Amino acid sequence: MVSFMVDRRPLAVPAFRRLWVASLVSAVGGSFSVVAVPVQLYASTGSSATVGAAAVVSFAAMAFAALGAGAIADTRDRRRVLLAGQSGLAVVYLALWAQAALGGAPLPVLLLLVAGQGLSSGTIGTTSGAVLPRLVPAGLLPAANSLNSLVRYLGYILGPTVAGLLIPVAGLPTLYLCDALALLVVLFAVHRLPPLPAAPAAGRDQGVTRQVLAGFRYLAGSRMLVAVLTVDLAAMVFGMPTALFPELAQREFGESSVGLLYAAYPAGVVLAGLGSSLFTKVRRHGLLMAGAAVAWGVTVAVFSLMTWLWAALVVLAAGGAVNFVLSTFRNAISQAYTDDAMRGRIQGALTIVLLGGPQLANLVHGGIGALIGPRLTIGIGGLLTVVTVLVVLRVAPELRRYAVDPPEQPGQSAPGAVEPEAAALREAERE
């Protein structure tokens, strides 16, 4: 039954299928370090502040790599850039395994490895987003992004769970080694990709800084892309109330409910991923993205009114489902609409938004919640999300009109290929 609900059409493309199967392996077996590194840091220092500092180091490294790798991916063969990122991550995991097997490394060395992990992950995330439109046609991008997101969220859930169970049994060195071995499958899949050379107009003679600035100018000059990022950022910053879950649990639902509150959203995400064929075949990508953002804002506002725990959990799960739809079409639109020569840099900017948005949401919700209370803060955030989306649709009607015809049959698109609808909208925007 599930196989008929998941939109599997992109798996007919051999290159995408190999990458997806490899990501399926690494999603669980290659994500143990997410738990192992903080556990080792706390065990060696006895300080949660050290764990927090490592998170800051990782965030800064990922953000730096996202911008730099995006520029490099637009001027070099993207297959080689992706291979370099995956190879770098494998080296980091092997180094983590070696130091753990030898009894542990000093804190500066661990932080250096955390930075290396962040640099590699930022490179991989940005370059992967730029590679995908070169593997599948625009009509299959929603389905391809949905499959990738489904695996990623399953990894978020299963990876840390399995790692937590294995640490007392197998130890930290084994977990690091598992991560390194899982990446061998990914490296094989990336190695089998066809060459993905840069577009002729990419401009190899410019420095990375100038290329990054050119990417921001391109983004600022595209009303469509600004609209997509504004809608997504509003949904994250205004609508993501997770920072207030502990207070809600303690004051409203009971302390034992906090885990359920945090689990409800990803449960909805996974359910939406398992039912992706219900929405990935539509033509009106822009309208569906905007509609999902409005639905997310409404569910957040409704959640703020819930006083019964199980009703609140159902609403949160529904919110996770519609947010999955939002993120699926955010990725598909940003990938298909962007000129191939700029895709890496736009994906880098999107990575920054995805990294920083949840952190900003926690800051905003935590600060305002302390002043006016959690329920009112959450309700206002949901309504602000809806209002922002409606304003964006008024200012940038091209988002509402954006549509892509589904392909007659799955197949590999030519490098840099774009759908006529996206090309026409871009030309109209420039006039």
User: For the chain, which domains are there?
Assistant: 1-196 (1.20.1250.20), 208-406+414-431 (1.20.1250.20)
The answer on pLDDT for 206 being more than 80 is no
If pLDDT is split at 50, 70 and 90, which confidence band does 411 have? very low
| pTM for the structure as a whole | 0.84
pLDDT value of residue 249:
85
How confident is the model over 283-318, as pLDDT tens digits? 899 999 999 999 999 999 999 999 899 999 999 999
If pLDDT is split at 50, 70 and 90, which confidence band does 105 have? confident
How confident is the model over 360-387, as pLDDT tens digits? 888 888 888 888 988 999 999 999 999 9
**Average pLDDT score over residue span 404-419:** 52
Instruction: Please list, in sequence order, all residues whose beta carbon lies within 8 angstroms of the beta carbon of residue 360, skipping any fewer than 6 positions away.
Output: 236, 237
